Structure 1
Amino acid sequence: MSIEFLLTTIIVVISPGAGVLYTLAAALSRGARASVVAAFGCTLGIVPHIAAAVTGLAALLHTSAIAFQVLKYLGVAYLLYMAWMTLKEHGALKIEAGAAPRSATQVVVSGILINILNPKLSIFFFAFLPQFVHPDQPGALAEMLELSAVFMLVTFVGFVAYGLCAAAVRSHILSRPRVLTWMRRTFAGAFAALGAKLAVDR
């Protein structure tokens, strides 16, 4: 594993996206434990994309407009659903001190869906991983699997760091109703913007 791969991975992971947003929202709504569970779910959500890249199935999404569009609009619909639920103060993103706890399974499934319904991730890994693998040498598959494992580890650690930082200021936010209102609107708008961005991607 090269230092270039590690640095590139860190930059990609810390760039704000739907997974980071979901982890932050989980931290603010449910606390540190929920943020770790959300980060785990988001990390699991990239496993199918990595598997698709490693096996070459991502090429199908790259060449088949129908396959890409179907998966893309499922992702758009889910992001818009998250935006609506956030705005209406329901579900996983209800930021309230006395909110009833959600099961770890529910938080994980939501995190998985956010990433698994983003077809750009398959194409990203299909283009990203081979740049750091020597295909003409034996063990190329094992090397790609190793890089994939490192990427997942960095993703989990990075998302957990985001979540723990947000959980640290949770009490200050919960004590300010106006801040809560703007937080909900901001998260809802961010999810909607991510959905709109995904909708116009080709």
Structure 2
Amino acid sequence: MFTFATLSAFVVIVLGLFVMPGPAVLLIATRTAQSGRKAGIMTGLGIATGDLIHTLCAAAGLSAILMTSALAFNVVKYAGVAYLVYLGIRAILEKPSDPQMPKVSPVTNMNAYRQAIVVEVLNPKTALFFLAFLPQFVQPAQGSTILQFLILGIIFVMMSVIYTTLFAMSIGLVGRFVKRIAWINRWSGKIVGAVYISIGLKVAMQSR
């Protein structure tokens, strides 16, 4: 169904996206600091659950488009490429700013989980990202597209769960971590931007 090169590229790119500090990382750090490691882990699980919901919606919608027209699917796919390249250029050109820790109150573990799901599901940028990102690794000629979407989404979610759990468990002094983020943040935009653009170039090269 997937070639080794395709899966390897997907895993490497996802890992690259995870290690850059973003809103989800800051939320997990804040939850861990205020409500403990379990709350931080549950927040990560909630974010992963929200990503799974986005995956299911993207799989259903984009597979329906493919069944209607292969041309329509390619239009959506290359629109996704354009969006990812746009995100990449904007991230590279954007001036780095100090990351702001979200203001949240201490909550129970289950509330942390539920709130993280809501935050992730209602984030339109996340929905657009999944609609743009996943199709770049789907190859209709290699079998069921909806199955390919689901496999990629599950891999993404499993990697997210492992990463956020390890992250929450490894936070000893969140304040020290936040200070390090200030240094990492100077380069994170350029690195993430390069990742987004590389996805677009990957598809452009495949089409030749």
TM bucket normalised to smaller: 0.5 to 0.7
Tell me, yes or no, if structure 1 residue 38 matches structure 2 residue 52: no
In structure 2, stretches of 5+ residues that fail to align are 66-75, 77-100, 183-208
Equivalence for 2:105: 91
Match of 2:126 among 113, 117, 121: 121
- For residues 32-80 of structure 1, the C-alpha deviation after alignment (integer angstroms, 9 at most, x for no partner) is 22211111111112222212211227x9xx9xxxxxxxxxxxxxxxxxx
Q: Number of residues paired by the alignment?
A: 139
Aligned-CA RMSD value? 2.9
Cα shift at 1:103: 2.4
Partner of 1:104: 109
* Aligned CA distance change for structure 1 residues 31 and 38 (closer, same or farther; 3 Å): same
CA distance in 1, matches of 2:105, 2:35: 11
Query: What residue in structure 1 maps to residue 95 of structure 2?
Result: none
Task: Name the residue aligned to 1:197.
Answer: none
State the Cα deviation string for residues 3-44 of structure 1 (Å, max 9, x = none): 100001111222222211111111111222221111111111
Contact 2:46-2:114 at 8 Å conserved across structures: yes
Contact 1:19 1:114 (8 Å CA) reproduced? no
Unaligned runs of 5+ in 1: 63-81, 93-101, 174-178, 187-202
Residue 49 in 1 paired to residue 54 in 2?
Answer: yes
- Out of 168, 173, 197, the residue aligned to residue 169 of structure 1 is 173
How many Å apart are 1:143 and its aligned residue? Answer: 1.8
Q: Give the Å deviation of 1:148.
A: 0.5
User: TM-score normalized by structure 2?
Assistant: 0.58
Contact 1:38 1:108 in 2 (8 A): yes
**% identity of equivalent residues:** 24
Alignment of structure 1 residues 131-146 onto 2, 5 Å: 131-146=136-151
Looking at structure 2, the residues matched to 124 and 138 of structure 1 have their Cα atoms a distance apart, in angstroms, of 23
Asked if the contact 2:55/2:153 (under 8 Å) is kept, the reply is yes
Deviation per CA, 1:141-186: give whole Å up to 9, x if none.
21221110000011111112221222x226xx6xxxxx9xx99xx9
In the alignment, the residues of structure 1 paired with residue 162 and residue 44 of structure 2 have an alpha-carbon distance, to the nearest angstrom, of: 8
Structure 1 residue ranges, 4+ long, deviating more than 4 angstroms after superposition: none
| Counterpart residue identity of residue 39, structure 1 | G
Q: Scaled by the length of structure 1, what TM-score is found?
A: 0.60
Q: C-alpha separation between the residues in 1 aligned to 2:138 and 2:50? A: 23
d(CA) in 2 for partners of 1:144, 1:121: 16
Tell me how far 1:110 sits from its aligned partner. Answer: 1.6
For 1:47 and 1:119, the matched residues in 2 are separated by 15
